[in-house]
Amino acid sequence: MIEKQELETIIPHRGKMLLLSRVNSYDLEKRTLSAEYHISDDCIFFDPSLGGVPSWVGFEFMAQAISALSGIRDRELGIKPRIGFILSIPTMQMDIPVFSPGSAVVVRVEEVDRTGMIYTFSTEAFLEGRKIMEGKLMVMEVNEDGFDKLVMENG
């Protein structure tokens, strides 16, 4: 298990943008990770008019779980964690409109394809053991030098 304080050493998110509460388990050989986020009214995405966090924010929980898996892998390889970008969300199904404060969303991610710096992940989210979201996320990873180069070229 990896708690929030240690997560700050493996993913780039800080402050209120660090949404994961903890990593529950991971398997670098199978390229899988399970994490959770405890919904509260101090979440940066909390919407008082909805009384919770909109379910579309679940894709960010999934993206941060992917970032955590990448950061754990990078730490094992002895390299600095890389920066990741969501390129697309080709499929996403959500069965609830809002995450209510006090609930814990468990997210599972599995890498299903890799081509160079582009990765595709199958993702799922569960609330009280019931699957409430599933989809695919396509992400790209770059190191700081690659990020600086992207910014300079596309300025």
Closest listed residue to residue 139, CA positions, set 70, 85, 77, 91: 85
This prediction's pTM: 0.90
The structural domains of the chain, with segments of one domain joined by +, span 2-154
Q: Which residues contact 3 (CB under 8 A, 6 or more apart)?
A: 22
Superfamily classification of domain 2-154: Hotdog Thioesterase (3.10.129.10)
Question: What share of the chain in percent tops pLDDT 70?
Answer: 92
Q: Which of 70-74, 77-81, 99-103, 108-112 has the lowest mean pLDDT?
A: 77-81
pLDDT in tens, 82-124: 888 999 999 999 999 999 999 999 999 999 999 998 999 999 9
Q: What is the pLDDT of residue 151?
A: 46
Find how far residue 100's CA is from the centre of its chain: 19
Q: What is the pLDDT of residue 82?
A: 84
Q: How far is residue 144 from each of residues 2, 68, 80, 105, 148, measured CA to CA in Å?
A: 24, 17, 9, 31, 6
